[in-house]
Amino acid sequence: MYRARTVLTNLVPLASLIPRAAPDRFASWILKSDHILCSITGTDIRHYSSSVATEPFLNGSSSAYVEEMYNAWLADPKSVHVSWDSFFRNSSAGAAPGQAYQAPPSLAEPGRNQLPITSLAPLLGAAGAPALGGQVNEKVIDDHLAVQAIIRSYQIRGHHIAKLDPLGISSADLDDKHPPELLYSHYSFGKRPSTTYSQHLQQKVASMMEQEGDMDRVFKLPSTTFIGGKEKALSLREILSRLENAYCRHIGVEFMFINSLEQCNWIRQKLETPGVMEISSEEKRLILARLTRATGFEAFLARKWSSEKRFGLEGCEILIPAMKAVIDKSTELGVESIVMGMPHRGRLNVLANVCRKPLEQIFTQFAALEAADDGSGDVKYHLGTYIERLNRVTNKNIRLAVVANPSHLEAVDPIVQGKTRAEQFYRGDGEGKKVMSLLLHGDAAFCGQGIVYETFHLSDLPDYTTHGTIHIVVNNQIGFTTDPRHSRSSPYCTDVARVVNAPIFHVNSDDPEAVMHVCKIAAEWRATFHKDVVIDIVSYRRNGHNEIDEPMFTQPLMYRKIKTTPHVLDKYSKRLIEEGVVTTEEVKDVRDKYEKICEESYLNARKETHIKYKDWLDSPWSGFFEGKDPLKVSPTGVKEDTLVHIGKRMSSPPPNAAEFVIHKGIERILRSRMEMVESRTVDWALGEGMAFGSLLKEGIHVRLSGQDVERGTFSHRHHVLHHQLVDKATYRPLCHLYPDQGPYTVCNSSLSEFGVLGFELGYSMTNPNALVCWEAQFGDFNNTAQCIIDQFISSGQAKWVRQSGLVMLNPHGLEGMGPEHSSARLERFLQMSSDDPDYFPPESEEFAVRQLHDINWIVANCSTPANYFHILRRQIALPFRKPLILMTPKSLLRHPEAKSSFDEMTENTQFLRVIPDQGPASQNPSSVKKLLFCTGKVYYDLKKAREERKLEGDIAISRVEQISPFPYDLIKKECAKYSNASLAWAQEEAKNQGSWTYVQPRFHTALSGSRDVRPPIQREGFFNKLFGGKSDDNATSQLDSPNTKPRIISYVGRPTAASPATGSKMQHLKELNALLDDALSL
């Protein structure tokens, strides 16, 4: 309505057009009018001088006044103002009521809702000529409104009738009906009255279409269209033709939902401008060459390995030229690095023809060769790569990374975004002009996987945005065997992108030039507005889900059509030959040349004897491993001065900002921190802050991300102080420790685990010299990110030789808060740990670091702030990177005994894998009757109960701080120290949960000294050479003598349970007391 009112404002002066109706209510008037002839008042711009100021007409005057004026005019027309004279003359001449008044000439510019009458003259035609003198049929106004409605309808709905399906058998929007706004014959004109403004306009459109003469009438074009080019007016016939070309051929665009007029006009201009899709012969030949390579690659693989799964691109070979067009335009606009994520379909083709990975390396993946380096590897269509090469079109260097990913479609999306954001951060690319992300999707996964939505919602968050991602959907119009009508409820598979105002370009894959056009627009959009954009390439899948799958079982009609459909390369070659752009010989020559390249690479690949996993690394860390002792850990203790400085900064309000108003509760926390610093002690929050701060001092970037991490779920951290009177005024103490410190990023995330954990994993892959931490709001929330944990974090290095030092902080502990806020599912992480429970590694000085090197990740449950401090710093001190899974406390955050002295954090101190008992029991170990092992918070419950029962001399309690890799050497040492004590493992989790099932067999191995079960012999590979990962052939069995009865460890804790914890506080306390009674019984 607003736009229609604006249109009318530009055409007629409303004040005189609508008697008794304010301009803002003209719509209600126009709908009621049927065939009224209206006077159009134009401002005749002549230079008159008026001796008397114009008077307002009928401004509250009584009828007596009017009658008095009329009598005076009858006596002498010159005795009244000229406006009255004009009014009475028109009335006497028979003017209709409301039509007699005529405004006097004015020197002023036309006012609001006015325009010179001469500006309408060209549009009124012969029939409208009398309007210059006074009246014109309202049809002129209505017809212009109708034309604008037509233009807007095409812009909004034209994509519904665009010819998008290359097979021509279905509609991309799952609706075969044409929108009524675009189907003139659909209207029932004159048969029913219009009830809405839209219906009124539809009827006007149809009435114009019924008359051939109307088709040749010329209409002034509104400012909301660019179909005219330099012309300001076009005939209706030409308007419709140009709209059809722009919106209804092989490109369908959804963009009118975007709430920015500037952005909408930008897209209109790119699509509507006449001749905008014309390209040179040289560009056409480039498209043909790229299409030939894409098609030739798939054909070559099909010939050589006909029964191998490779998830080829047949049916959407245009993807390769499309991606290259995006890369060409982006590099031209300044991009230097592109991070890509994609599913398995077409991956090998992308690696070969977009990244230009050596074909030999791809072909060797089809041979059953042994790997030259360690790791378990992955199938060829999951592997990533990293390439730096010259872009021959723009003559600029470009870095391309394809991130490795599993079969879990779309799971790689947030990882790509995190890696991209990290690259932008370390390059100082605050606007995303140098680094960008490119994500490929399948149609069924794009609308079916929730992670797509989570990733889109990171796109505009300040600490997560990558300043625009280009999404390309390879739309096969089928998901595995499922018809789109059964796999989505939305018209298009791309509708999820509408939530972030991303324009969506649907394009027919069999029109290569249309595909290139939208790819260039997408790249320019991203460079201009730094927002997401979607290209939906509507195509088909020539084979089944994979090459050995039979699609006719489930889609017989579609695949019958596919069998008779020529390849897009054949269609485009024929078209270019007909246009005279290329000859038949040139087409054949291009094909033969690429075929020869493939054959030569195939012959070279057959000479290879091994495959190399490192060839497929997607995130190389240049210079990180070189020159390091692979088993030397840097010290984690720091000077006391550093601790004091960081502690005081964390305990102080902003310096030189007396007006910064801090919450009274925060003031109390800062005071208590300062008291701790002065007494040389730290609690959990202060210990963490000192770990971060000391790393920042060394120039290490620290990033802490997750839900509510700035304050901390349990209101303990407070790394961002908020001014209580000024919005958005904040102070971050850790950002102001040292003038040359590393950057500190602490950011509250969206309410997402899957997306944000994936993002932080991607971030951690980029730079090994950064501590990247993700904190769960509560530990059990990590299970909504289980896919990232299973497929990437625990197995990423084994599959893709890709290391990550990501830290996962999972609040964990049974404290009577119910099943959902108790367990971080420690047992799951331990079950995925890769160390052998039956193998006791050779003891040496390097025992601990070698264990860390050989395992897939580290799982720990610290019980002191000092140990938490050391284990965080150890992540950077290690000469390699491993994910760290930490169970973090809740009640211990404020527990009076869960504090550490500076003496445990200064130089020459380190992380303690096991904290032995330091009480009376340790003074006289031979008299100790029971040795309890535990981990985490339950230690404080056991210690308190032991004191209450005065059993300090009879029962020793040792804490296992690092659970995996298991500290065999220290456990063995502790057990030997208390040689007469019975052994028990105490835990607060249920028997089938927590650490018990992990530690039980390892205690047996530690106690028996068993080394007879050997781990599999590892190959002398890349990482083994680098880190000395060979097993010790001199290791001998350390079985106890046959006369020694092996010691066993018993279980103390809750019985098995399906739920992590009880929902009853009373039951919780009852279970805890039973645990303590059992643990402390002798």
Least confident of 902-906, 950-954, 985-989, 1009-1013: 1009-1013
Query: How much is the pLDDT for 459?
Result: 94
What is the rounded CA–CA span in Å between residue 458 and residue 418? 10
Query: Is the pLDDT score of 136 beyond 90?
Result: no
Query: How much is the pLDDT for 62?
Result: 62
Which distant-in-sequence residues (6+ apart) come within 8 Å of 299 by Cβ?
A: none
Q: Hey, which residues does 860 pair with through a beta bridge?
A: 886, 962
Q: Where are the beta strands (DSSP E) in 593-741?
A: 610-611, 681-682, 701-706, 721-722, 730-731
For residue 1037, name the pLDDT band (cuts at 50, 70, 90): very low
Query: Is the pLDDT score of 443 beyond 50?
Result: yes
Query: Is the pLDDT score of 769 beyond 80?
Result: yes
Higher pLDDT, 203 or 146: 146
Kindly state the average pLDDT of the residues 185-196.
43
- Are 475 and 173 contacting, i.e. CB atoms less than 8 angstroms apart? no
Chain-wide mean pLDDT for the chain? Answer: 84
On the CB side of 940, CA atoms within 13 Å amount to 19
Q: How many CB atoms lie within 10 A of CB 798?
A: 16
Report phi then psi at 611, rounded to 5.
Answer: -100, 155
Kindly state the average pLDDT of the residues 983-1004.
95
Query: Is the pLDDT score of 20 beyond 50?
Result: no
Which distant-in-sequence residues (6+ apart) come within 8 Å of 1023 by Cβ?
A: 373, 374, 375, 801, 1029
Higher pLDDT, 956 or 22: 956
State percent of the chain over pLDDT 90: 57
Rg (CA), the chain: 38
Query: How much is the pLDDT for 80?
Result: 86
Query: How much is the pLDDT for 177?
Result: 66
979-989 per-position pLDDT tens digit: 999 999 999 99
Query: How much is the pLDDT for 1017?
Result: 44
603-615 per-position pLDDT tens digit: 888 887 777 767 7
Query: For residue 58, with 0-12 CB atoms within 10 Å meaning exposed, 13-18 middle and 19 or more buried, which class applies?
Result: exposed
For residue 620, name the pLDDT band (cuts at 50, 70, 90): confident
698-713 per-position pLDDT tens digit: 999 999 999 999 999 8
Higher pLDDT, 990 or 144: 990
For residue 305, name the pLDDT band (cuts at 50, 70, 90): confident
φ/ψ region of 1041 (left if φ > 0, alpha if ψ in -120 to 50, else beta) reads beta
For residue 1032, name the pLDDT band (cuts at 50, 70, 90): very low
Query: How much is the pLDDT for 1047?
Result: 85
493-537 per-position pLDDT tens digit: 999 999 999 999 999 999 999 999 999 999 999 999 999 999 999
Is the sign of the CA dihedral 917, 635, 795, 479 positive or negative? positive
Taking the alpha carbons at both ends of the chain, their separation in whole angstroms is 85
Query: Is the pLDDT score of 955 beyond 60?
Result: yes
Query: Measuring CA to CA, which residue among 410, 569, 436 is closest to residue 496?
Result: 410
Kindly state the average pLDDT of the residues 1007-1017.
57
Query: Is the pLDDT score of 851 beyond 90?
Result: yes
Residues in the chain: 1082
Least confident of 737-746, 757-766, 785-794, 1012-1021: 1012-1021
399-429 per-position pLDDT tens digit: 999 998 888 889 999 999 999 999 999 999 9
Kindly state the average pLDDT of the residues 913-927.
93
Structure tokens, 437 = 């992300």
Kindly state the average pLDDT of the residues 201-229.
77
Kindly state the average pLDDT of the residues 228-244.
92
3-state secondary structure of 633: coil
Predicted TM-score (pTM) of this structure: 0.84
Query: Is the pLDDT score of 332 beyond 60?
Result: yes
What is the rounded CA–CA span in Å between residue 1071 and residue 1055? 10
Query: How much is the pLDDT for 1080?
Result: 93
What is the rounded CA–CA span in Å between residue 518 and residue 504? 10
Which distant-in-sequence residues (6+ apart) come within 8 Å of 217 by Cβ?
A: 125, 143, 208, 235, 236
- Are 993 and 825 contacting, i.e. CB atoms less than 8 angstroms apart? yes
What is the rounded CA–CA span in Å between residue 885 and residue 260? 44
3-state secondary structure of 278: coil
Q: Hey, which residues does 482 pair with through a beta bridge?
A: 479
